[in-house]
Amino acid sequence: MGRVAGKKAFITGGAQGLGACFARMLADEGAKVYITDINGDGAAATAAAINDKHPGAAWASGHDVTKRDEWKTALEAASDAMGGVDTLINNAGIGTFGSIETATDEDWRRTQEIDVDSIFIGTQLAMPYLKKAPSASIVNISSVAGMIADGNMIAYNTAKAAVWMMTKSIALHCARSGYDIRCNSVHPVFTRTPIIDPLIALGGGGEEGEKRLVQQIPWQRLAEPEDVGYCVLYLASDESRYITASEFKIDGGITAQ
Ligand SMILES: NC(=O)c1ccc[n+]([C@@H]2O[C@H](COP(=O)([O-])OP(=O)(O)OC[C@H]3O[C@@H](n4cnc5c(N)ncnc54)[C@H](O)[C@@H]3O)[C@@H](O)[C@H]2O)c1
């Protein structure tokens, strides 16, 4: 039996990077996975690779997480395909640069819309499905950037801090309501996915750019997607059945400084 055998997971932003890794790891441990992304072809490719290994374990659809109607359609399709939804991984997100002096209204709004509003909308719409499940887990992908600030990331810092606190509010509501629905946040440091390419470029690109980025991390290497995936796997599984309203730092020690 896998660690998440029988679970029915809805994963956003699964075309690449962390979301694709979470989908693969959950399917490897026995879950069914419904993968969405604004890049529908990428989500379909992730699902196809999983189905090659675990036939019938994965589905995919194009889904813009900022759109309420697209959430409704995708959740309904996921529930029909998997026989319910008991695990929600709110992973889709973007990073933006800009300080209090340089960030534009557009950068600010787009970051809040994709990184924060989407989790409010999606989790609200997923609640009826999660309430029907014998036990459910919501995992929100925040960032260390929600805990420690950078002068040039005002929109992203603010968005990821909001995800951290929204997680606790959702968790407390569910617990006080007597729902068996847990909600936790995960806070990775720089992890080897396409989202950090601009950060590596800022440091001069290539190995040199990566070296500069890594200097900030006490563990002195980038996180790999699987390093974050093991935490998500734990939170999706019943092994974490008493854990709610908590934050998990996958940060190589960076927030301890
Ligand atoms: N990689 C890191 O260093 C790191 C660190 C901390 C937190 N995170 C967070 O992890 C999550 C995943 O990031 P990643 O590193 O895999 O980045 P990534 O850019 O590789 O993947 C993000 C995915 O989200 C999708 N997406 C973007 N906007 C969307 C929208 N409106 N609707 C649906 N999908 C959309 C993209 O198409 C992409 O497939 C993000 O929330 C990010 O903020 C990443």
The pTM (predicted TM-score) of the whole model is 0.98
Q: What is the pLDDT of residues 84-96, one digit of tens each?
A: 999 999 999 999 9
Q: Using one digit for the tens of pLDDT, what is the confidence trace for 198-257?
A: 999 999 999 999 999 999 999 999 999 999 999 999 999 999 999 999 999 999 999 999
Is residue 156 flagged as an active site residue?
A: yes
**Is 94's C-beta closer than 6 angstroms to any atom of ligand 1?**
yes
What distance in angstroms lies between residue 222's CA and the mean position of ligand 1's atoms?
Answer: 16
For 12-68, the pLDDT digits (tens) are 999 999 999 999 999 999 999 999 999 999 999 999 999 999 999 999 999 999 999
The verdict on residue 113 lying in a domain is yes
Residue 109 lies in a domain: yes
In a domain, 93, yes or no: yes
- The answer to whether the CB of 16 is under 6 A from ligand 1 is yes
Classify residue 49: in a domain, yes or no.
yes
Q: Count up the domains in the chain and report the number.
A: 1
Position 235 in a domain = yes
- Kindly report the CATH number assigned to the domain that includes residue 177: 3.40.50.720
Considering the domain boundaries, does residue 99 fall inside one?
Answer: yes
Residue 157 beta carbon below 6 angstroms from any ligand 1 atom: no
Q: What does each C-alpha distance from 160 to 99, 103, 145, 249 come to in angstroms?
A: 16, 16, 6, 13
Q: What is the pLDDT of residues 191-213, one digit of tens each?
A: 999 999 999 999 999 999 999 99
The secondary structure of residue 252, as a DSSP letter, is T
Q: How far apart are the first and last CA of the chain?
A: 40
The 10s digit of each residue's pLDDT in 128-182 is 999 999 999 999 999 999 999 999 999 999 999 999 999 999 999 999 999 999 9
Assigned domain for 243 exists: yes
pLDDT in the model for residue 179? 98
Q: CA-to-CA distance for 20 and 188, rounded, in angstroms?
A: 16
What does the block give as tokens for 66? 């900022």
Return the ligand 1 atom nearest residue 64 CA.
32
Closest CA to 199 of 186, 216, 220, 219: 216
- Cα 228 to averaged position of ligand 1 atoms, centre (Å): 13
8 A C-beta contact, residue 44 and residue 70: no
pLDDT digits (tens, 9 = 90+) for 72-81: 999 999 999 9
Q: Answer yes or no: is pLDDT of 1 > 80.
A: no
50 within some domain: yes
Pocket test for ligand 1, best of 10, 12, 16, 18 (most atoms within 8 A of CB): 18
From the candidates 34, 129, 156, 234, give the one annotated as an active-site residue: 156
> 156 lies in which domain range?
8-192+224-256
From ligand 1's centre to the CA of 177, what distance in Å? 31
